[in-house]
Every structure is written in structure tokens, then in C-alpha cells.
Structure 1
Amino acid sequence: MKHTFLLALRNLQRNRRRSLTTLLAMIVGVCSILLFGGFSTDITLGLQTDFVRRSGHLQIQRQDYFLYGSGNPVAYGIRDPQKLLDTLRADPVLKPMLVVVTPTLQFGGVAGNFAAGVSRTVLAQGMVAADQGRMQLWNEYAFPLKPHPFALEGTSDDAAVVGRGVARVLQLCMALHVPDCAEHEPGHGQAHEPSAAAADGASDAASATAPADVLALAALEAPPAEAKSPATHIEVLATNAYGAPNVGSFTVVKAEQQGVKELDDVYLAMHLPRAQRLVYGGDTPRVTAIQVQLRHTAQLPAARERIRQLLAQHFADQSLDVLDFATLNPFYDQTNRMFSVIFGFVFTLIGAIVLFVVSNTMSTAIVERTVEIGTLRAMGERRGGIQALFVSEGLLLGFAGAAVGVVAALLIATGINHSGISWTPPARIDSIALTVRVWGQWRLMALTFVGLALVAGLSAWWPARNAARLSIVDALRHV
């Protein structure tokens, strides 16, 4: 076997230009597969980071709340949430895994800026601002993210944060410095400009004819000028636990873009106590979910199993369930499946190219060495030996191209990661540095290396089989 590989290596060196061309095709194919795989991995981990920072790895909810609770969150409230929080935080098995355990209350309502005469439906969420700020710091995969403090941290009890779509509808753009929006309805400002000019003209005409004492009295009775600072107060209407409407007044401190327009148009965040007062009034407050953020995503199965054990032991009367971030965000699995299909298509396409390139190289070599094949067969070489020789040449080309391709992909990925190129990933609002995660993806590199090397070996098998079946006499007299 060693003799066969040495002879195959010498044969590849006989026509170096053709061998290098084939090798280059292998290198380009391996680089393409690894770079695309590293890019798709980066997308997947980026989505995971966003979802975990926003809602945690796991959420404890009442059973079926995820399916039906948005229509009636009061019916799916978790009783005695503080006891549940204390149980999770004090558990010796779970405690080393935990980063943040925090309650949230989500409900639907109507937010209105009644000073402007506008309102819209919103999806409100009460949360503990300090806990949400700590969740924003989670970055297991070391993405080059700029830290953004949570907008509700350090604000008053009546503070609220809205999506930019909500701010536009409620005409809070000027106060919250929201770009690309107009404070007035279409044509509103233009319709009133002529009347205002006419009023000014009439006032000037009256001033020219009225006596001085009348003008003095009019100036004393004129209403004071209104303050020019825009208001940020809104009222939120929600249904309380008894089905009656309840209204709360809030001060909007910031409008944040959410990355997804559907969420941006309904997003409203407030402090948890105010949300509980709005929904439950004077009754015992509840929450709709307990968010659990772990140190490492790999701990998720163990943490979920332990939480289920604790719920069965201490909260069996509430029918609680534990859902992971992938279940709560179907877009995550959909994106992963899409990139898996694209990766399979790219791998198949490049594998077919490698197949034809190596097969063409081997076929050309066989035609050129037909007399040599006949000589070897006349000297007693078996058909299996001839076939093994050409398959070995294909395997050598495959392994050499795959090895150099892996090294080249690592170098190119390193160059991209340090190039400073930025882009905006899906569901994000800020651009980040482009990264391609090839290093550390050992499974991807092994699959690509072995897969394309075997494709190269298999592509040489059919021409080698034909070479081994040549008649000795016909091969020797081949011109």
C-alpha cells in the first residue's frame, strides 16, 4: 500500500500543471463550503444571543399560556411568583447555572395621547429594569456588540419605553427625537396655514383702528403663551382581573426601534409594579412568565430538567410548564432549517464540481498512460493494482486539496474578522462587525475535509476501473 501511494505521488508530479489546476479547484471548493458554513453559524449564534438577551434561555409559564394566553393573560397568571423566584435562586443544583431569574407580566391594552387625540393598541410588558439590564450583558459567543443600557433603568415608577412605531402613531416624535416621522396628519399643517395668516392680518388691522385703552385691556385678558416643550405623557387602558377597564398614566422616556416592524408598532415596556397595579388593582399581583437566563446554552437541558423537578415538588397545584427560547421564537428554528438546506445545496453543488474535475483529470491521465498500463499488466500487475493506483492518485489530490483548503479558509476567515467590515444581521437595528466562525467548528471542518476527499477518491474510481479492464494487447499498441 505504501509503495502504491508513493508511485501515485510521483505520477501526479509528471503533469504538475494539470495536478495544480485540479488541486486549486479542490481548494476553492473547500474554502467556499467552510466560509459559508462559518457565516451561517455566525447568523445562528447571533440570533440565539438576541433571543437570550431579550427573553432568557427558558421561561416558566402556566400550561398553554404560549398558545392561548395572549388573549387573556389574567387567566394564566402565576400565583406567588416571589416564592418561585426564591426556590429557583436557592436551589444548589440550579444556582451555579443561573445568571438572571426575573418575572414579567405581559398584557394587551390601548395607549393614547389624548392631548393629540390619538391612540393605538399595544402589547405591554411589565419587567424588573435592573434584571433586564443584566440580561443585556449576556454574550457567550463574544460578538463585537456595543453595550446599550436598558432604557428603564434608573427611571421613575411611571416611566415607560415604546417602540418607534408606537411613538409615530401617538405623535411623540418631537419629544422622543424619532426620525422619519411627521407630528401632524397629512395636510393638517398646510390646511391651517392660510387661516392663521388671515387671523394675523385681521389682528393687525384691528390693532391699527382700536383705541389704546382697549388694546391694553385686551393684552391683560389674553391667555398666557403655551409652553413649547412637547409632552411625553400617555394613558394606557387595560382590562383588570374583574373585566373592568383600568387606566394608568405614564411618562415615555424613550422610543426604541425593535428590529421587527410588527413588534415596533405595538411595543410598550413599563416597570413591573405599575403593570401589576394596572392589571390586578388591589388584588394579589401575579406574573405571566419567569425568565431564566443561564451562563451557557449547553446547560439548557440540565437546567430545564431540574426546574421541572422543582415545579413538581413545590408548585404542582399550578400546572406550570418550561419552554426554551427556540420554542418561544419559531423564527430561530426556521432560520436554522433554511441555512441547513442552503448549506446542503452548496455542498452538493461543489461536490459535483469536484467530482467532474477529478474524474476528467484521471480520464486524461489514463489516456496518456495507456501504454504504461499495458506494460504494467504485461509485467504481471493485476487489475486491482492498476485500479488502486489511480484511486490513490484521486485520494491524494482530495486530501491535499482539502487540507490546503481548510488552512486557506481559516486564513481568509481571520482576515474577514479583522477587516472591520460591518453589516446589519436579521432582526437587529445596529450594524456590527462581520465575523465568519470557521475556527472552532471542528465538526464542519471534519465533514468538509472527509466528504470532499472521499468525493475525489470516488470520482477516480470509475476511470480507474476502465483502465484496469483494458486489454493488454490493445493497451500496448495504443498510439
Structure 2
Amino acid sequence: MWRNALQRVLQDLKLAARNLLRHRRRSLFALGTVGGGVVAFLLAGGFIQWIFIDMRESTIHSQLGHIQLVRPDFLSGGQADPYRYLIDDTPVDAATAANMPAIQTLAPRLTFGGLLSKGDATVSFIGEGIDPALEAPISRAITVRQGKDLTDSPANSVLLGEGLAASIGAAPGDTVVLLGTTATGGVNAVECQVAGIFTTITKAYDDVVLRAPIGVARSLMRVDGATSWVILLDDTARTDATVTQLRAALPASQFDVVPWSDLADFYNKTVELFTRQVGVVRLLIALIVVLSISNTLTMSVLERTSEIGTAMAIGVKRRGILQQFISEGLLIGVVGGVGGIALGLLLGQVISAIGIPMPPPPGMAHGFTGQIAITPALAFDALVLAIGTTLLASVFPAWKASRMIIVDALRHQR
């Protein structure tokens, strides 16, 4: 039975192809409409997809890492008193890490805060105490605009965010003083040298953050341990699986295993906003394709009225007429969709090679060069859009053709 059904489908498609070839100009217009819509969807969606990927990786490799291990309730209460939630030793031992091959780096961080002074200028800051050697692969998306990184600097060096450095007029080589309240409530100060000035994708972060060797942070706060341990994986796609493994291996009463996505509020809001924009683009393209293809097939029905009447007169059922025109819409969708995907992939490669110069968006201090990232999921979505809209557009003309009265159809244009 399935063979007979397949044969009928192939016959319908062959007949549909012949009918489309009879009106080449109109068929090319229909294919161009579908293909153009697919190309527009792929380029718009591919640009936004590239922004998602670039922002995700930049967020991970400049601020958050893939996973953070903290004490329970640190995220809610750690801002007020981070030293109540110190982790004294490495939470993931060598044996545990060996069973999780995705883990590449495990680095401690100590969150602290206070006042930064240079001469008569004083501003508040949020500090990150880090191990420069362990942190280097995690922080590869941090751009040192001036000076050098902590890995090439003396032990008493600090890196300042671009906005923070500008607020006190600091430059590489300057001496600054960090003043903070210790874990026991006292006041302490350390003198440091500015090694460099950095930027990330988030201007708000660069305006308040400085990074210092974790030894300097511990000396200033007079504590041991770390407020969090940051994990870098070999692939972002393995985050969820590694989080599940870590939660099974570590006691929940002592550690929270937090994936980067739970901490990236700005990224999550950006994805939500841009996803809605892609939805609007998809809707507009669908409307254009539906109206164009529906008009094309309606014209075809009008021109072939006598032919339809003849077919019905010799015994072709209404369902057969309906299937015939829907097959033509399906064929337009498949050919136009595949052609549009091929052209979109080619244009995406060319545009990416040239680059798309972009001004600084809200929340960023510097512009960037964009690219087009057409993923398999996006290409499949475009193909579904092409086929779905052309099928939808063919329903009314096909129904109209199938409901013709035989006598009136035979008399048409006679």
C-alpha cells in the first residue's frame, strides 16, 4: 500500500513540475519570492545567531566561566558579606576531575570591594582576586587595551577596567592604593601598581571592576580561601551534563553548582529581545510569501479553468484536483527553499569574510565586526518556513479549483 501511495505522490510531483514549466516566467517569480525570503531570513537570523554565540562565549571567557562553585546562598547573601561563604580548599579533587573529561581549568576567585585611590581621586570598586596563571584560559576574551596582563606583572599589580581607570585618571605604571574593610571589621590598605587597563563586552562591568592576584586580595581582606571556584570546559555544549555530574559528586549542603546561564542576566535579556525580533522577521517573510504564492497559483487556476473542467469530466475527483495544486505549491516551496538556503550559505560566507562593521551597541564601549553564523537548525527552520508558507498559500487556490462546477469550467472562455 505504501508503494502505491509513494507512486501517486511521485506522479503528482511530476505533473506539478510539468505544469510549473509551462509558465516559466510566473514559476521563476514564485521561486524567486520564496528563495529571496529564505535568503533574507537566513542572513538576518544568521547575524543574530552570531551575536548570540559571540556574546555567549565572550561572557563566559571574560567574566563567568562555564560553571561556578559557591557556598549555598552565596548568590543571594554574598554581596553584603562574602566572607561568610569562603571555600577553604579545592572543591573538586583530582579523582573527581578525572571522571569529568570536559573540565579544562579550575580556578579560585575572591570577591572583595572597597575604595581605589590615586592622588586626590578616590572611587569605589568591585574586585576580583584571581590566580593569573589558572585564570588565563578562562579570561581570554578580556582585552588589555593598555599595559600588560597580570601573568607578566609583579605580584602587587592590578588590572583596572577601562571606565574605572578613567574615573581616577590611572594609566599603566601608576601607583594606586586599595582600601577595604577586612573580614573582621577593621580597615586595611595595600599599595599596588597598575599593570594594565582592560575591557570586556559589558561597559557596566568595566566601569567598576579591578582584578588583582588572589594573594593581594587575601592580604587586603585578611582572609584565606576563595568565594568561588570557576570551571572552564572544553565545550559550552557540555555545560548541562557537567553540572549534573558535579551536583551528583558534591554535597548540596556545602556547594551550589551554578551554570553560566544562571548568572548572565544581560545575555539572557538580549537573547529574549533578539529572538522576538527574529520572530517578527519570520512573520513578515511568511506574509510576503503567502500572498505572492497565493496570487500566483490563483492566476494559474483561472488560466487552467477549462483544463480543470476537462480533467473532472473524464473522472478526476475533486481530491485529485486539490492534490495537484497543493503539489505545485509544495514543489515551489522545496525548490525555492533549497535554492534559497544554498544562496544564503554562499552570501553568508562572503559577508563573514568581509565583515560587518558595527558601532558600539547599548551597554558596550567599543564597536565590533559582525559575521553571519548560519547553523543547521537555522537552515532547517528556513526550509520549514519555505515549505510551510507555500503549502498554506496553495490551500485556497487548490480548494477553489476543486470546487469548480464541471459545466461552467468547460464553458470558460468559449
Q: TM-score, normalised by structure 2?
A: 0.91
Match of 1:104 in 2: 109
Matches within 5 A, 1:52-451: 52-54=60-62, 55-78=64-87, 80-81=88-89, 83-84=90-91, 87=93, 91-94=97-100, 96-113=101-118, 116-137=119-140, 151-172=149-170, 175-176=171-172, 232-280=174-222, 285-312=224-251, 319-423=254-358, 433-438=369-374, 441-451=375-385
Q: Which amino acid is 1:289 matched to?
A: S
Matched, 1:28 2:31: no
Match of 1:477 in 2: 411
Kindly tell me: are residues 333 and 148 of structure 1, through their superposed partners in 2, closer, same or farther at Cα, counting changes over 3 Å?
farther
Kindly tell me: are residues 247 and 259 of structure 1, through their superposed partners in 2, closer, same or farther at Cα, counting changes over 3 Å?
same
Q: In structure 1, how many angstroms separate the alpha carbons of the residues matched to 2:145 and 2:341?
A: 34
Aligned-residue Cα RMSD (Å) equals 2.4
Deviation at 1:264, TM superposition (A): 2.2
Q: In structure 1, how many angstroms separate the alpha carbons of the residues matched to 2:130 and 2:343?
A: 48
Q: In structure 2, how many angstroms separate the alpha carbons of the residues matched to 1:376 and 1:272?
A: 84
Kindly tell me: are residues 453 and 150 of structure 1, through their superposed partners in 2, closer, same or farther at Cα, counting changes over 3 Å?
farther
Query: Which of the residues 359, 376, 386 maps onto 1:452?
Result: 386
Q: Which amino acid is 1:103 matched to?
A: P
Q: In structure 2, how many angstroms separate the alpha carbons of the residues matched to 1:51 and 1:447?
A: 27
Q: In structure 2, how many angstroms separate the alpha carbons of the residues matched to 1:158 and 1:335?
A: 37
Kindly tell me: are residues 435 and 329 of structure 1, through their superposed partners in 2, closer, same or farther at Cα, counting changes over 3 Å?
same
Kindly tell me: are residues 111 and 146 of structure 1, through their superposed partners in 2, closer, same or farther at Cα, counting changes over 3 Å?
closer
Equivalent residues of 1:133, 1:149 under 8 A apart: no
Deviation at 1:305, TM superposition (A): 2.1
Q: Which amino acid is 2:128 matched to?
A: Q
- What are the superposed Cα offsets for residues 112-131 of structure 1, whole Å, 9 maximum, x if unpaired? 12xx3120100011111112
Which moves more between the two structures, 345-354 or 3-12? 3-12
Match of 2:3 in 1: none
Kindly tell me: are residues 146 and 348 of structure 1, through their superposed partners in 2, closer, same or farther at Cα, counting changes over 3 Å?
farther
Matched, 1:42 2:47: no
Equivalent residues of 1:137, 1:147 under 8 A apart: no
Show structure 2 runs of 5+ residues with no match: 1-7
Deviation at 1:154, TM superposition (A): 2.1
SS at match of 1:135: coil
Equivalent residues of 1:164, 1:264 under 8 A apart: yes
Q: Which amino acid is 2:13 matched to?
A: F
Kindly tell me: are residues 291 and 11 of structure 1, through their superposed partners in 2, closer, same or farther at Cα, counting changes over 3 Å?
same
Q: In structure 2, how many angstroms separate the alpha carbons of the residues matched to 1:150 and 1:306?
A: 37
Deviation at 1:169, TM superposition (A): 2.5
Q: In structure 1, how many angstroms separate the alpha carbons of the residues matched to 2:402 and 2:249?
A: 69
Deviation at 1:311, TM superposition (A): 2.0
Q: In structure 1, how many angstroms separate the alpha carbons of the residues matched to 2:207 and 2:364?
A: 16
Q: TM-score, normalised by structure 1?
A: 0.79
Kindly tell me: are residues 136 and 122 of structure 1, through their superposed partners in 2, closer, same or farther at Cα, counting changes over 3 Å?
closer
Match of 1:197 in 2: none
Deviation at 1:34, TM superposition (A): 1.5
Deviation at 1:72, TM superposition (A): 1.4
Matched, 1:10 2:40: no
| Identical-pair percentage | 30
Deviation at 1:338, TM superposition (A): 1.7
SS at match of 1:71: coil
Q: In structure 1, how many angstroms separate the alpha carbons of the residues matched to 2:163 and 2:140?
A: 26
Q: In structure 2, how many angstroms separate the alpha carbons of the residues matched to 1:447 and 1:166?
A: 44
- What are the superposed Cα offsets for residues 425-472 of structure 1, whole Å, 9 maximum, x if unpaired? 75666655432112xx22222222133213212211111111111111
Equivalent residues of 1:63, 1:320 under 8 A apart: yes
Matched, 1:468 2:408: no
Kindly tell me: are residues 149 and 373 of structure 1, through their superposed partners in 2, closer, same or farther at Cα, counting changes over 3 Å?
farther
Q: Which amino acid is 1:91 matched to?
A: A
Q: In structure 2, how many angstroms separate the alpha carbons of the residues matched to 1:146 and 1:406?
A: 39
SS at match of 1:319: coil
Show structure 1 runs of 5+ residues with no match: 140-144, 177-230
SS at match of 1:290: strand
- What are the superposed Cα offsets for residues 337-369 of structure 1, whole Å, 9 maximum, x if unpaired? 222211122112111111111110111111111
Q: In structure 1, how many angstroms separate the alpha carbons of the residues matched to 2:146 and 2:380?
A: 38
Deviation at 1:31, TM superposition (A): 0.7
Kindly tell me: are residues 130 and 121 of structure 1, through their superposed partners in 2, closer, same or farther at Cα, counting changes over 3 Å?
same
Equivalent residues of 2:38, 2:341 under 8 A apart: yes
- What are the superposed Cα offsets for residues 93-115 of structure 1, whole Å, 9 maximum, x if unpaired? 12x212211001011101112xx
Q: In structure 1, how many angstroms separate the alpha carbons of the residues matched to 2:339 and 2:37?
A: 11
Match of 2:5 in 1: none
What count of residue pairs does the alignment treat as equivalent? Answer: 403
Structure exhibiting the larger radius of gyration computed from Cα positions: 1
SS at match of 1:4: helix
Match of 1:182 in 2: none
Q: In structure 2, how many angstroms separate the alpha carbons of the residues matched to 1:104 and 1:74?
A: 12
Q: Which amino acid is 1:437 matched to?
A: A
SS at match of 1:263: helix
Match of 1:212 in 2: none
Deviation at 1:240, TM superposition (A): 0.7
Q: In structure 2, how many angstroms separate the alpha carbons of the residues matched to 1:272 and 1:302?
A: 30
Q: In structure 1, how many angstroms separate the alpha carbons of the residues matched to 2:94 and 2:275?
A: 36
Q: Which amino acid is 1:128 matched to?
A: D
- What are the superposed Cα offsets for residues 385-423 of structure 1, whole Å, 9 maximum, x if unpaired? 111111111111111100100111111111112224444
